[in-house]
Amino acid sequence: MLIKGLTMEEFERGLEKTRTLVVPFGTVEAHGVHLPLGTDTLIIQEVVRRVSERTTVFVAPPVHYGQCTSTAQHPGTISISAETLRRIITDIVRDGFRKGLRRFVLVSGHGGGIHTSAMREAAELLTEELKGVVIAAFAIYDILPPEAMDLADTKNDSHAGELETSLILSLSEELVKGRGREEYPDLPKPIVAADKRRYWPGAVWGNPAKASKSKGDRLFDIMEKSLLDLVRRIEEFGG
């Protein structure tokens, strides 16, 4: 049930069937020269849409902004702080809890380290605060089986690379504007680079040339199944 289309009465009746809310998280983030800034949001919205057709849970509209670190200086990235992200999560879960929801699946299409730790930290604090709440907070890539990554011919494929490009091709070939160059970030870790574009000019991590619509189709199927399994698990989870 996509809650943006429900009336208040439909929401109330829905609570008799489920107490679970799935909230997708995306970003506005540079994804090479070939993918849209909303790539992470587009991908996760599609996965939760499919899951909402397979099981009776509430699905919230996406949080379109996320915390971006390595792409922070690339054109088009509009990042929020980890603190803002924690507060958004805290507000959504607290108010959802007041409205009768008890299980929250906070699933991100963006796998950034600071972003996902902020999600997990908020979930830990809320679990201490709200009696009877059950929360899962993670990036979709964290719950995929190993065969998902085997779909890529490129080793070490990630941001705007073979698989993300394949997923966007699967959504619509018109969203993909050519292909960015094969690239891997060369950030001087653990030193924090002030000029990140110098070490990662193209904002690609992997080889977009190896992307195909059929790989994207298969990966969406795996993502759908993985998220569906998790939603079913959390619905049965005793706390």
Q: Which spans of this chain sit near Zn ion (rule: CB under 5 A)?
A: 39-40
56 or 156: whose CB is closer to Zn ion? 156
Shortest Cβ 159–Zn ion spacing (Å): 5
Shortest Cβ 206–Zn ion spacing (Å): 11
Shortest Cβ 94–Zn ion spacing (Å): 28
Question: Cβ(21)–Cβ(95) under 8 Å?
Answer: no
40 or 183: whose CB is closer to Zn ion? 40
**Residue 121 corresponds to which tokens in the numbers above?**
């930290």
3 or 175: whose CB is closer to Zn ion? 175
**Nearest-5° Cα angle at 219, 110 to 68:** 10
Tell me how far CA of residue 48 lies from CA of 5, 56, 153, 197, 233, in angstroms: 15, 12, 26, 32, 16
Give the residue among 106, 132, 210 at the shortest CA–CA distance from 165. Answer: 210
Shortest Cβ 112–Zn ion spacing (Å): 9
Shortest Cβ 180–Zn ion spacing (Å): 13
Q: Rounded CA gap, 82 and 200, in Å?
A: 22
123 or 139: whose CB is closer to Zn ion? 139
- In the bound state, the residue with its beta carbon closest to Zn ion is 40
Q: Rounded CA gap, 39 and 20, in Å?
A: 26
135 or 171: whose CB is closer to Zn ion? 171
Q: Rounded CA gap, 144 and 238, in Å?
A: 23
